[in-house]
Structure 1
């Protein structure tokens, strides 16, 4: 389905699987993409069917249902940026996420900015920058193996995730659970691949990843049992090794302001944190 299958802003169309091609084409045209504009992210996080999209100046306006009456949106596209923003804000929109585009009096939304790593650097782990990671992965290097989880064995992913939830009750996140459930349900329609870590032939960790047109490795999910120290770092390193011939960077997405998640992603030594800019309507009145 093409752009004309989407309602013209300020009208909106509910997001569906049929919009995968046009949203992906628009995402692929971005010079500096951000993770939550990727179709798979929009689709799997839309667990209550509240995400709607509209077209404007060959851009896609996305309402993820976080605000009432389409009052908060984000723009996917880089066409006629100023005109698009002004049109959006004239239609009672109070808040706009601009992705990597800085304009007017926009400000950085650090909680939703992406952690970006060099695939090649992480694969090698050379130098003092990565000394802490090298130390942490010593045990899993000795006792674990890594491999792709085939689609007909994804039940193992869900079983391991539920085990992780039982062992980490304070870290349970209903939105993450619902997103993973939807991702597995539509596994044959999305580009997400699953990589598993095994200890004595038992799945003890997994990652859900996607290679984008920008040669980015997008990490949607990563979970690891806590009994083996350094397992998450080991899996992150193995992902870099597995995908370094197909990607140049790893996008570990946002930390959402969660302190523990921010500390973990910072400990993996990102090259940059790709900023996401936002603007409120009052800024350009």
Structure 2
């Protein structure tokens, strides 16, 4: 049976969870919330069978697969099946996007792989992985500035702030705050992705009751001034922070919601994935300042010198 691509829907996104658990995968793209938010931007399709699931994105007007989710021992066979289909049925070289280190390590053991494929290191797509305990406490010399920012916020707004766990009943006020946030944000949008992220967030809220995610917000004087959306992968004890927006005119507010969202929504998490920086200089500086314990590397693969 050939690979028949289908448009990714919210129901299909949810099936990602079972495939993502087939081996330890730490990339943010393994999470249904991430895929659903960016589905429109990438025109995401998918294919799945009993062995694997692969999301397929449109890049340079050509559909190409992201790394398939499967068991480690199935990687060579799955890769071979996908490559054969792209070459023989689609009559295209296989370009595969967002491949993690473990998947690539297996591919490098396949005879001829190194000669057939060029591997591109995609630094701007690396995810930032943090120690969850340290982000909850901000203890230690490395977090001294962060702790000072947090304490300044707590002092300046004492008795006026409140963290709340939110749900679908709060969607309208979250969207109202998000619009205010956009109006006051000067943002370097290198990939033109900001509008797609906004559309994805609104679409996520439209299907709020069907999506397994946590939402938290910070109120000051009873008015929402920050919110965050995250999800959790229990098999790797990792919290994924997909969205985090705060009023930039309130110093220390980002520090506060970052900390409180983890404390209240993901108390069992041991690590935190705060996604990539998309090559944005300011965002990279901010993510590095939180002292990641590692960066989750991602690679693109390009098939070379193939006769179709």
TM-score by length of 2: 0.82
Contact 2:231-2:239 at 8 Å conserved across structures: yes
Contact 2:247-2:253 at 8 Å conserved across structures: yes
Q: For each residue in 1:177-232, what CA deviation from the matched residue of structure 2 results, as whole angstroms up to 9, or x when unmatched?
A: 11111111111000122110111111111101112233211111100101211211
Shift of 1:85: 2.1
Q: Which residue of 2 aligns with 1:4?
A: none
Q: Mapping of 1:64-213 within 5 angstroms? A: 64-78=57-71, 79-90=73-84, 91=86, 92-97=92-97, 98-100=99-101, 101-103=103-105, 104=108, 105=114, 106-142=119-155, 143=157, 144-170=161-187, 173-213=194-234
* Secondary structure of the corresponding residue to residue 40 of structure 2: coil
Q: Number of matched residues?
A: 278
- Take 1:23 and 1:71, find their aligned partners in 2: how far apart are those partners? 18
Shift of 1:162: 0.4
Structure 1: gaps (5+ residues): 1-7
- Take 1:151 and 1:58, find their aligned partners in 2: how far apart are those partners? 34
- Take 1:231 and 1:38, find their aligned partners in 2: how far apart are those partners? 26
Q: Which residue of 2 aligns with 1:3?
A: none
Q: For each residue in 1:29-51, what CA deviation from the matched residue of structure 2 results, as whole angstroms up to 9, or x when unmatched?
A: 23133111212221222136821
Q: For each residue in 1:114-143, what CA deviation from the matched residue of structure 2 results, as whole angstroms up to 9, or x when unmatched?
A: 111111111121111111111111232232
**Pick aligned residue for 1:11 from 4, 9, 19:** 4
82-91 or 219-228: which moved more? 82-91
Contact 1:9-1:56 at 8 Å conserved across structures: no
* Secondary structure of the corresponding residue to residue 137 of structure 1: helix
CA radius of gyration, larger in: 2
Distance 1:95 1:32, change over 3 A: same
TM-score by length of 1: 0.88
Shift of 1:239: 2.1
- Take 2:43 and 2:138, find their aligned partners in 1: how far apart are those partners? 42
- Take 2:255 and 2:79, find their aligned partners in 1: how far apart are those partners? 40
Shift of 1:250: 1.1
Correspondence 1:249 to 2:285: no
Contact 2:230-2:240 at 8 Å conserved across structures: yes
Q: Which residue of 1 aligns with 2:111?
A: none
Distance 1:21 1:192, change over 3 A: closer
Structure 2: gaps (5+ residues): 87-91, 109-113
- Take 1:99 and 1:170, find their aligned partners in 2: how far apart are those partners? 29
* Aligned-residue CA RMSD (Å): 2.3
Contact 2:162-2:218 at 8 Å conserved across structures: yes
Q: Which residue of 2 aligns with 1:239?
A: 261
* Secondary structure of the corresponding residue to residue 203 of structure 2: helix
Distance 1:93 1:178, change over 3 A: farther
Distance 1:48 1:239, change over 3 A: closer
- Take 2:62 and 2:297, find their aligned partners in 1: how far apart are those partners? 27
Contact 1:109-1:278 at 8 Å conserved across structures: yes
Contact 2:57-2:64 at 8 Å conserved across structures: no
Distance 1:115 1:284, change over 3 A: farther
